[in-house]
Chain A
Amino acid sequence: MVGKSEPINGTAKSQPPPSPLSPKSPDLLSGYFSFKSLKLKTKQQELLIRVSILCLVYILAFVTRLFSVLRYESMIHEFDPYFNYRTTLFLTEKGFYEFWNWFDSESWYPLGRIIGGTLYPGLMVTAALLYWGLRFLRFAVHIREVCVLTAPFFASNTTILAYFFGKEIWDTGAGLVAAALIAICPGYISRSVAGSYDNEGVAIFALLLTFYLFVKAVNTGSLSWGLASAFGYFYMVSAWGGYVFIINLVPLYVLVLLITGRYSMRLYVAYNCMYILGMLLAMQIRFVGFQHVQSGEHMAAMGVFFLMQVFYLLDWLKHLLSDTKLFQAFLRMTVTSAVGVGAVALGVGTASGYISPWTGRFYSLLDPTYAKDHIPIIASVSEHQPTAWSSFMFDFQILLFLFPAGLYFCFKRLSDATIFIVMYGLTSMYFAGVMVRLILVATPAVCLISAIAVSATIKNLTLLLRAKTKAPQSASGKGGSSGKAASKGSLDQSQPFQKNGAIALLFGAFYLLSKYVTHCTWVTSEAYSSPSIVLAARGAHGNRVIFDDYREAYFWLRQNTPPDAKVMSWWDYGYQITAMGNRTVIVDNNTWNNTHIATVGRAMSSYEDEAYEIMRSLDVDYVLVVFGGVTGYSSDDINKFLWMVRIGGGVFPVIKEPDYLVNGEYRVDKGAAPKMLNCLMYKLSYYRFGELTTEYGRPPGYDRARGVEIGNKDIKLEYLEEAFTTSNWIVRIYKVKPPNNRW
């Protein structure tokens, strides 16, 4: 424990300094560093190093997320971010009250959507505040730039938070490692690259903030930390629907503490303050409102709250009643009646409809097969699919191995804080397995727990190294683990190779960590920086080919169609059409009305004349389809078509999935089902495609996305006419003809 050793000169990415447990003589350091000339005390040196590492991590977290801007341009990515961008723009232009009361007549025609009451405003308000702040400081930024960089900025803030959280549950070393790990963890980067202007970008920060403040409140028992965690919770509720995770995890954690006999006044103060104030604050968000006290997902928190009061009462009574026998009897009675009252209240509430049942999304978390059988609209989203093992490997890499090791260390040094992180890690890992997108929620926990493993291991190893020279001194360590490690060190002194072994293991650890850095950078630059609205591919000569068809189509809509034109497309493209095309859409990514989406699905899977009736009833002027047959772009509407059939058939039984399949097989070539070959979606996708030769040596009408020659090359459209097809045929727009003049 004499001096600081090698990790200090490492880069900030992954190599933490050992724990700054006790002040030591700086003489060894002075050889390597010129700190001595600055006359810094060890504590100050350590602080300086810590701060500079954090600064580097902070910058790194921001910079690594800029790949998307470098590779493409400063643009908003994907689907939902376009809605967020549009609403943010509205907020900055019209002000908060207009935003709060915004009734959007451009989406969900003709139903419209109350935007203010059906969104989580946290992200937009945050970006708008940043924008106004920058404006106030006379930075002439455009709101789009602010939106593009909001997610990286918050990712940087998350690293700082991870440091404090790590410090709270373990020590500063673990905190620094956690900050470095989370800064480049692909699981988090996937949702927070520049341009990925989505709720999650801010929400992970808010999530971690709430957890950190709550753990802090539990550790200190301070009312002010509890209050702070309530506000953190409020920010989380305002930012993302994932707050339900907090409001279920925290009571679960409290319950576990109660059961394991770790009930304390600190816990009582922290939980009650956080729950009551957090609830009142959360109810201020219009989208949540009374759900917070009425819906089934929030009942666990309320139940635990009441349980806590019973516990406190019992504690007090125990204090008053000296007779243990009397108390035992009273205890039995109270517990029975409390449980009875709770069960009756829950039963009556559910039966009377006052407590709403769990939502489908919540069910599908608990039972991964639920959505597949009951709610095709949830199952159809790719990010709601169960996670493949490969994506765990892809998103966590070495953290996947460090996670169990970290759990081991946590169990070895159980405290209120480590119990919390263990529970957070285990539950979120379960949810990450159920749904791909929830890997994001698990990432902070995985990083923190892995950081504990890394930090503790390295600390033990370095202790071993130093123990040989100054074994007696090392026993003065404060922390339990260092004490143990030290005793282990003194034990291991008898073994001959322990120093060499420790060095080898250290190198191994650094090798792994540097591999992690390489992997993360590679993943970020190759996989997670694509805006998905601009597609990139490699040409035949290895050159980069950019397909900018989406924007081409949306700008065509903006320039060439009447301002009140209604565009029908599958819901995936709704947000983009309203944001970029500025046209009214029938359905969009806010899938609040299943029937409306099913109507569109039905139109797409009907014959042209039936579809025409539906489109007339919805006043549709244009139909937009996405088609990848020319470019080989596989996430097009033909590949999504079975979901349209399923969702349409879920509401309108005239649409039957077997009509579109041949022997349970989905095909588009000559062997396809007759209904498939003549439904609107097929016709719109493949109209005039039969004339086109897509690949050398293939017959005309060869679909490159599915690798087959299409089955219906002679497509005639009667009620629609082709209005626009982008240069690579990715987006095709058709105009709905007015009814025949003479018929």
Chain B
Amino acid sequence: MATATARSAVLLLALISFLLLLPFLAAALSVDSPKGRRVLVLLDDLATKSSHSLYFRSLQSRGYDLDFKLADDPKIGLQRYGQYLYDGLILFCPATERFGGSLDQAAILDFVDSGHDLIIAADASASDLIREIATECGVDFDEDPLAVVVDHIGYAVSDTEGDHTLIAADDFIDSSVILGDKKIEAPVLFQGIGHSLNPSNNLVLKVLAASPSAYSANPKSKLSNPPSLTGSAISLVSVVQARNNARVLITGSLSLFSNRLFRSSVQKAGSSTRHEKAGNEQFLTEISKWIFHERGHLKAVNVKHNLVGEADEPAMYRITDDLEYSVEIYEWSGSSWEPYVSDDVQVQFYMMSPYVLKTLSTDKKGVYSTSFKVPDVYGVFQFKLEYQRLGYTSLSLSKQIPVRPFRHNEYERFIPAAYPYYGAAFSMMAGFFLFTFAHLYNK
């Protein structure tokens, strides 16, 4: 009786644990995508949800699970019990001075520093909070709160002669990884504040720059001082790819994402072609794909190294050993991991400086490999693979391996060049023996 109870208890336990494990098993079976799809959108005003619905819909149609909250909602929290609830954050709340709930500047930066993505849209009314978050990501908005980007040459032609703050920008970054393979034909309509990149930050990239004739100033007042930001130093849209591959998009225009500009037709001043639709939709859809890691995400797996002709990875190499190194690199295509094909992946055999630098050859199925001879220097080396390409996540692999000198019995036992010396030694010994013999017994 007792055993039967025990057995059923065990069975129940097994069942429960199986049920508990089920989601994990399912997750393990599915293709493991680089990032999740839960996105928190913080708004100043719920009206934005409808006025920018085209952009949100494009995200939702690609499978993102958007969670709209007012920025001052007291229930906002990015994490619970140490787990992040979201994989991405969109800040469409330029005017917010303080977030509700536990969210603050540090929490947002921690969110990025733990590998999550962020989109920040500021506006002419951008609060200090938003500006500071942007500053922490390496871009500085124009400090004058009333200044917007004005371009008297590159403005968008409209029915009414305005103050030229709606500009048609077409100075895109030259990267198909970030902006997609299809060239963006129509200029992007931009109305908002400009920012500059912090020169000490080398991770931030200008994706959409203003034209050389643009400047940042208050259009309503007379310009008494030269504007602080001018020309193509003004960035309209910038991205940051942090060292942990979290991606951040920063722009000074919330209306960039609006349905109004999505649908608007555009003609750049001085240009005769009129595009039926502004480039905003294509530009923002493509760059959102990049921001949320649908494109340009690489992973390197199965780093292996071994002696030529052996399969196991040794704990240590000897100088002048011949070794093989291989790594598999895949690229996320949006739905599956595809082999990444390139001819510029290099590996270093590194100890304070690279002793060997070899370009890896690929079999077009994702496997990169090479073989080389360990240099005649002992020490603690590293196989270092540093792969940084515009738009791609950076790959930085290093694997430590000591290289030892020869053991005492690994040298040549007899050196041909030394035979005269061997001969000399042995003939001396023989001669001495004979001499002793003669000397002692020849008297």
Contact = CB atoms under 8 A, between A and B. Distances in A.
Interface string A94-116: 00010011010100011110100
Contacts, number: 63
Interface stretch (A654-662, A709-717, A735-743): A735-743
A741 B405 contact: no
A110 B408 contact: no
> What band does the interface of chain B fall in when counting residues whose beta carbon is under 8 Å from A?
20 to 34
Given A564-B400, A743-B200, A111 B240 contact: no
Interface string B227-244: 000000000000010111
Interface stretch (B39-47, B62-70, B263-271, B375-383): B375-383
B97 interface: no
Contacts of A103: 316, 378, 402, 404-405
B122 interface: no
Nearest to A286: B408
A617 interface: yes
Contact of B203 (A105, A109, A743): A743
Contacts of B73: none
A590 to B, nearest CB: 15
A739 B243 contact: yes
A105 B352 contact: no
B278 interface: no
A742 B405 contact: no
Contact of A110 (B109, B203, B352): B352
Nearest to B113: A741
Contact of A742 (B112, B352, B404): B112
Contact of A741 (B112, B382, B407): B112
A105 B380 contact: yes
Q: Which of A100, A103, A617, A739 counts the most chain B CB atoms within 10 A?
A: A103
Contacts of B403: 112
B236 to A, nearest CB: 20
A742 B113 contact: yes
A103 B408 CA distance: 12
B418 to A, nearest CB: 15
B113 A110 contact: no
Contact of B408 (A101, A109, A743): A101
Interface residues of A, number: 20
Contacts of A738: 243
A110 B380 contact: yes
A580 to B, nearest CB: 21
Contacts of B405: 103, 114
B244 A741 contact: yes
Contacts of B382: 110
Q: Which of A97, A111, A584 counts the most chain B CB atoms within 10 A?
A: A111
A105 B112 contact: no
Interface in A703-743: 738-743
B374 interface: no
B137 interface: yes
B380 A112 contact: yes
Chain A interface, DSSP helix/strand/loop, else mixed: loop
B401 to A, nearest CB: 9
Contacts of A742: 109, 112-113, 136-138, 201, 203, 240, 242-243, 248
Interface string A110-134: 1110100000000000000000000
B208 to A, nearest CB: 20
Contacts of B404: 101, 103, 112
B106 to A, nearest CB: 13
A110 B355 CA distance: 13
Nearest to B400: A564
Contacts of B351: 110-111
Contacts of B246: 741
Interface in B363-411: 378-382, 400, 402-405, 407-408
Contacts of B202: 743
Contact of B201 (A110, A114, A743): A743
Contacts of A109: 380
Interface in B105-142: 109, 112-113, 136-138
Contacts of A97: 407-408
Q: Which of A618, A740, A743 counts the most chain B CB atoms within 10 A?
A: A743
A564 B400 CA distance: 9
B293 to A, nearest CB: 16
A105 B113 contact: no
A119 B30 CA distance: 57
A105 B404 CA distance: 9
Interface string A592-634: 0000000000000000000000000110000000000000000
Contacts of A739: 243
Q: Which of A97, A109, A112, A739 counts the most chain B CB atoms within 10 A?
A: A112
A325 to B, nearest CB: 32
Nearest to B200: A743
Interface string B77-115: 000000000000000000000000000000001001100
B303 to A, nearest CB: 16
A112 B352 contact: no
Interface string B188-203: 0000000000001111
A112 B112 contact: no
A112 B405 CA distance: 11
Contacts of A741: 112-113, 242-244, 246
Nearest to A596: B352
Interface in A550-577: 564
B380 A101 contact: no
B379 A112 contact: yes
A438 to B, nearest CB: 33
Contacts of A564: 400
Nearest to B402: A105
Given A101-B407, A103-B405, A111 B379 contact: yes
Contacts of A100: 408
Given A741-B113, A742-B113, A110 B137 contact: no
B134 to A, nearest CB: 11
B243 A110 contact: no
Contacts of A618: 352
Given A100-B408, A617-B352, A743 B379 contact: no
Interface in A462-479: none
Nearest to A618: B352
A111 B405 CA distance: 12
A740 B242 CA distance: 9
A112 B113 contact: no
A110 B379 contact: yes
A572 B243 CA distance: 36
A743 B113 CA distance: 11
Contacts of A114: 378, 405
B229 to A, nearest CB: 21
Contacts of A584: 380
Nearest to B381: A110
Contacts of B200: 743
Nearest to B115: A741
Nearest to B137: A742
Nearest to B114: A741
Nearest to A742: B242
Contacts of A740: 243
B357 to A, nearest CB: 17
A112 B352 CA distance: 12
A111 B113 CA distance: 34
A101 B203 CA distance: 46
A738 B113 CA distance: 12
A568 to B, nearest CB: 15
A112 B113 CA distance: 35
Interface of A: 97, 100-101, 103, 105, 109-112, 114, 564, 584, 617-618, 738-743
Given A103-B378, A742-B138, A743-B138, 5 more contacts: A103-B405, A105-B379, A110-B352, A742-B112, A742-B242
5 contacts: A97-B408, A103-B316, A110-B351, A112-B380, A742-B138
10 smallest CB-CB distances across A and B, nearest first, come from: A105-B402, A103-B404, A110-B380, A101-B407, A741-B242, A741-B113, A112-B379, A105-B380, A110-B351, A742-B242
